Amino acid sequence: MEPAATSSSGSWHRVDLNGDRGLLVVAGEEIAVFRAEGRPFAIANACPHEGNPLVEGDLVGSMLVCAYHGWRFDLETGACLLGERPVRRYPAEERDGAVWVRA
């Protein structure tokens, strides 16, 4: 299984979640942000399969299922569990009740 790329540089951005998810746009790039199992996760919003928005997917624990073709991703590692390519991850953390993403 191929490891997912992780962004390790950039600025921190606060993200307002609507329930268990939110969307952040930085320099034209969309980042899907989730709170799953009490922890924040951030990944590229475009599914590596056909570019569909991952923010619309279904959360199953810390796994995300793409709503369009069923590809499954481990939010912690970005690994693709059902499909062919991993998704890019971004550092995410919770501070004072808010989710912050570095991008």
Q: Residue 25: pLDDT band by 50, 70, 90 thresholds?
A: very high
Q: According to the model, what pLDDT value does residue 97 have?
A: 86
Q: Residue 81: pLDDT band by 50, 70, 90 thresholds?
A: very high
- Average the pLDDT over 77-103 and give the result: 96
Q: According to the model, what pLDDT value does residue 94 have?
A: 96
Q: Does 76 or 5 have the greater pLDDT score?
A: 76
Q: Residue 9: pLDDT band by 50, 70, 90 thresholds?
A: confident
From CA 79, how far away is CA 94, in angstroms rounded? 22
Exposure string of 19-57, with b = 16+ CB inside 10 Å and e = fewer, is eebbbbeeeeeebbbbbbeeebbbbbbbbbbeebebbeb
Closest CA to 87 of 103, 96, 76, 102: 76
Q: According to the model, what pLDDT value does residue 2 have?
A: 45
